[in-house]
Structure formats: structure tokens, C-alpha cells
Amino acid sequence: MILEYKEGKHPIIETQWKNHNIYLYLPPSWKKNENRAYPTILVQDGDQALKAITPLLEELEELWARGTGREFILVMICPLDRLSEYTPWPASAMSPRFPDFKGRGNEYLKSLETGLLPWLSENYKTDRKNVSLLGYSLGGLISVYALTIQNCWCHVAGICSSFWYDGWYSYLEGSSISEDLKSVYLHYGTQEGKGKSGSMEKAAEYGEKTGRLLTARLPGKVRVTQDDGGHHSFADKRYRNGLLWLNDQIGK
């Protein structure tokens, strides 16, 4: 069901694209009958992100009112199967308690580019030349991975991205990066992986290594930050920092 846009603070539209539930935030100046196109951020794990991002909308609107950044549309996409959509290739589960990773990220990302973006452009005036990605955990992994197979994303923010994923670092070493990319933000917690086993135990190390590699290959385009938390620590603050960074980048 599509809820009609209503002017006021923090209008959120709950709708559906194909089988995905989606939450859309439309900025204050958005009007249905105008032709203006807006920068847009696609956010993975939309059901989780909604809880962290909604309290930030008033702060964003205040920043825009003062001329900081630039108004944008937020599209929070709820996954159908994140172990499939957010993984770049098949891999074994990290624990027998969980199913294996199906690795259908290529299909998911293609559907965003060729299906979701045209739909958003037609219905909500997304500027298809100014679309960015934001993701946490596996959502961060697939967002950064997108830069190696697509040329349609301007900025990417990966928070506590699952760079421990089997084969990720060697893949990244041998891959080219989108020429259309303008900037990347990576954040990780130094205590990520603590108490885990296998490659997940080295989550912080892989976060640091991925940051170093991208910084070396994309001089001037990469910002890497860290805190002393575990994977799920400070999630609201981490989302805030990533979103404010994107606001700054989009406004340039």
C-alpha cells in the first residue's frame, strides 16, 4: 500500500517495490507536481535502519535550513533474504546454526540499478546521476562490493562492513573500482569479532586492511574512522556519522 505524501515534518512513505518493503523519506521541499530531481541514498536493511535514522531527520532538516549539505531522498530497503542479497558469492555459514550464504548479490544490485532506480525516478523524482549507498554489516559489504561491478553510485558509506567474508580481500585486490565513484566512507569497531571464530574473529583487522587498500587506490576519496566498540555497539551513533558524512559529500 502506498501512503500519500503529506507535507510536514519527516514524511515517511511505506510502500513496496516488487516484493521488497520500502520506507521513503521525502525532504521538506519535495512537491509532487514539480520537476526538480533529488539526490537519493539507498539504505540496506531498511527495517533496522529506519529505527536509527528516523530520529536524525530533524537534525538533517535543520542543517539544510542553515545551508549545510543538500536535501536528499532516503530509500530504506527491507531485504527478502539478506544472506542471499547482501553476499557477493556463495560461502559456507560461519556456524552450523545458520544457513549458508547464497551469494546472489549481483542479481540484487542489478535489480536496484535497472529496476528500482527507474521506478524511483518516475514516482519520486530521484536524480539517477546522484545516487549513493549506505549499509551496515552485510549491507555495508554489498554496498562496497557494488563499486567493483557497477558505475551508478556516487558515494558509498559502509559501517562495520562484513569484510571478513570468505575471499573478500583477495577479490578486492584484483578488482577495479567504479570510475564514477566520488567518495567512500568506512567505519569499523576495534572490538568487532571479539569472541567469534574463524575469519569473523578478524573482523576489525579486515576492516582496517580494506580501508588501507581503498585509501591507497583512491587517493583523496576515502575516509576511514573507528571506535572501540563491537559489531553492534553505538549503532545509532554510527548511522548518524555515516549519514552526516553523506550529507556533506552530496552537498559539495
pLDDT class of 141 with cuts at 50, 70, 90: very high
Q: What is the pLDDT of residues 164-179, one digit of tens each?
A: 999 999 999 999 999 8
Can you tell me the distance from the alpha carbon of 109 to that of 146, in angstroms, rounded to the nearest whole number?
A: 7
Query: In this predicted structure, what is the pLDDT of residue 8?
Result: 53
Q: What is the pLDDT of residues 214-228, one digit of tens each?
A: 999 999 999 999 999
Q: Are 64 and 56 in contact (CB under 8 A)?
A: no
Query: In this predicted structure, what is the pLDDT of residue 98?
Result: 87
Can you tell me the distance from the alpha carbon of 70 to that of 65, in angstroms, rounded to the nearest whole number?
A: 9
Across the range 144-168, mean pLDDT stands at 98
Query: In this predicted structure, what is the pLDDT of residue 82?
Result: 97
Across the range 97-113, mean pLDDT stands at 96
Domain boundaries in the chain?
12-250
Across the range 188-197, mean pLDDT stands at 92
Query: In this predicted structure, what is the pLDDT of residue 94?
Result: 85
Q: Quick one: which of 113, 104, 98, 101 has its CA closest to 152?
A: 113
pLDDT class of 114 with cuts at 50, 70, 90: very high
Q: Which amino acid is at 18?
A: K
Collapse the DSSP code of 160 into the 3-class scheme (helix H, G, I; strand E, B; otherwise coil) and give the result.
Answer: coil
Beta-bridge partner residues of 188: 226
pLDDT class of 9 with cuts at 50, 70, 90: low
Q: Are 73 and 126 in contact (CB under 8 A)?
A: yes
**Is the four-CA dihedral 52, 54, 57, 59 of positive or negative sign?**
negative
Across the range 97-108, mean pLDDT stands at 95
pTM for the model stands at: 0.95
Give the whole-number percent of the chain exceeding pLDDT 90.
Answer: 88
Can you tell me the distance from the alpha carbon of 214 to that of 173, in angstroms, rounded to the nearest whole number?
A: 9
Architecture of domain 12-250 in CATH? 3-Layer(aba) Sandwich (3.40)
